[in-house]
Amino acid sequence: MTGPPTPATSRFEHVPLAVFASSAEASQSVAREIAALIRDRQKAKRTAVLGLATGSTPLALYAELVRIHREEVLSFSNVVTFNLDEYYPIAPSSPRSYRHYMQAHLFDHVDIPPTSINLPDGTAPSASLDAHCRDYEERIQAAGGIDFQVLGIGRTGHIGFNEPGSPRRSRTRLVTLDSLTRRDAAGDFGGEEHTPKYAITIGVRTILEARRIVLLAWGQHKAEIVRAAAEGPVTPQVTASFLQEHDQTQFVIDRAAAGALTRYRTPWLLGALGDLGLEWDAAMVRRAIIWLSQLRKKAVLKLTDDDYNEAGLQDLLRTQGSAYEVNLAGFYQLQHTITGWPGGRDPRRTKPGDAPVRPLRALSAGVFPKRVLVLSPHPDDDVIGMGGTLCRLAEHGHEVHVAYQVSGANAVSDEALARALRFVGDSGLAGPANVERLCALCDAHESTGSLPETPEVHNWKGLVRRQEAIAAARVCGVPSGRLHFLDMPFYHARPGSRRQLGDRDRSVMRELLGAIRPHLIFAAGDLDDPHGTHRLCLHALRDALARHSGEPWVRESELWLYRGAWSEWSADEIDLAVPLSPQEVLRRRRAIFCHETQKDIALFLGDDRREFWQRSEDRSRRLAETYNALGLAEYEAIEAFKRYAPEEFLRDLPL
Give the CA distances from residue 128 to residues 95, 125, 199, in Å, rounded to whole numbers and listed in that order.
Answer: 25, 6, 15
163 is an active site residue: yes
Name the minimum Å distance from CB 337 to ligand F6R. Answer: 33
Among 85, 382, 528, 572, binds ligand F6R (CB under 6 A): 85
**Residues 645 and 413: beta-carbon distance below 8 Å:** no
Name the minimum Å distance from CB 84 to ligand F6R. Answer: 4
**Footprint (CB under 6 A) of ligand F6R, residues 22-81:** 53-57
**Footprint (CB under 6 A) of ligand F6R, residues 221-280:** none
Question: Which residue lies nearer to ligand F6R by CB, 57 or 333?
Answer: 57
| Phi, psi for 169 (deg, rounded to 5) | -90, 10
Name the minimum Å distance from CB 208 to ligand F6R. Answer: 15
Listing DSSP states for 369-398 in one string gives: SPEEEEEESSTTHHHHHHHHHHHHHHHTT-
Dmax (CA) for the chain in angstroms is 83
Name the minimum Å distance from CB 161 to ligand F6R. Answer: 6
Question: Which residue lies nearer to ligand F6R by CB, 102 or 290?
Answer: 102
Instruction: State the Cα–Cα distance between residues 309 and 317, nearest whole angstrom.
Output: 8
Helix (H) / strand (E) containing 25: helix 23-43
- Per CB under 6 A, does 572 bind ligand F6R? no
Instruction: State the Cα–Cα distance between residues 129 and 201, nearest whole angstrom.
Output: 12
DSSP for residue 498: P
Chain-centroid distance, C-alpha 259: 13
**Footprint (CB under 6 A) of ligand F6R, residues 282-301:** none
Question: Which residue lies nearer to ligand F6R by CB, 171 or 358?
Answer: 171
Instruction: State the Cα–Cα distance between residues 634 and 629, nearest whole angstrom.
Output: 9
- Per CB under 6 A, does 84 bind ligand F6R? yes
Name the minimum Å distance from CB 531 to ligand F6R. Answer: 10
Beta strand pairing call for 148-151 and 212-217: parallel
**Where would I find the H helices in 44-97?**
59-71
Ranked by CB distance to ligand F6R, the top (closest) residue is 152
Question: Which residue lies nearer to ligand F6R by CB, 230 or 559?
Answer: 230
Question: Which residue lies nearer to ligand F6R by CB, 161 or 562?
Answer: 161
| Phi, psi for 473 (deg, rounded to 5) | -65, -35
Residues that bind ligand F6R (rule: CB under 6 A) add up to a total of 14
Question: Which residue lies nearer to ligand F6R by CB, 55 or 236?
Answer: 55
Give the CA distances from residue 460 to residues 283, 356, 398, 466, 507, in Å, rounded to whole numbers and listed in that order.
Answer: 47, 47, 32, 10, 24
Question: Which residue lies nearer to ligand F6R by CB, 218 or 280?
Answer: 218
CA angle 521, 527, 531 (to 5 degrees): 120
Which one, of 560, 543, 637, lies nearest residue 370 by Cα?
560
Name the minimum Å distance from CB 379 to ligand F6R. Answer: 25
Name the minimum Å distance from CB 97 to ligand F6R. Answer: 11
Site string for ligand F6R, 118-157 (x = CB under 6 A): ----------------------------------xxx---
| Phi, psi for 159 (deg, rounded to 5) | -120, 140
Question: Which residue lies nearer to ligand F6R by CB, 195 or 364?
Answer: 195
Among 159, 177, 289, 300, binds ligand F6R (CB under 6 A): 159
**Residues 513 and 544: beta-carbon distance below 8 Å:** yes
Name the minimum Å distance from CB 200 to ligand F6R. Answer: 11
Name the minimum Å distance from CB 151 to ligand F6R. Answer: 6
Instruction: State the Cα–Cα distance between residues 44 and 37, nearest whole angstrom.
Output: 11
Beta strand pairing call for 48-52 and 79-83: parallel
| Phi, psi for 354 (deg, rounded to 5) | -65, 145
Q: Which of 64, 163, 209, 568 is catalytic?
A: 163
Listing DSSP states for 261-307 in one string gives: SHHHHSGGGGS-GGGGT----HHHHHHHHHHHHHHHT--GGG--HHH
DSSP for residue 316: H
Among 69, 96, 105, 158, binds ligand F6R (CB under 6 A): 158
Site string for ligand F6R, 341-380 (x = CB under 6 A): ----------------------------------------
Among 51, 122, 160, 631, binds ligand F6R (CB under 6 A): 160
Question: Which residue lies nearer to ligand F6R by CB, 58 or 342?
Answer: 58
Q: What are the catalytic residues?
A: 163
Return residues touching ligand F6R (CB under 6 A): 53-57, 84-85, 152-154, 158-161
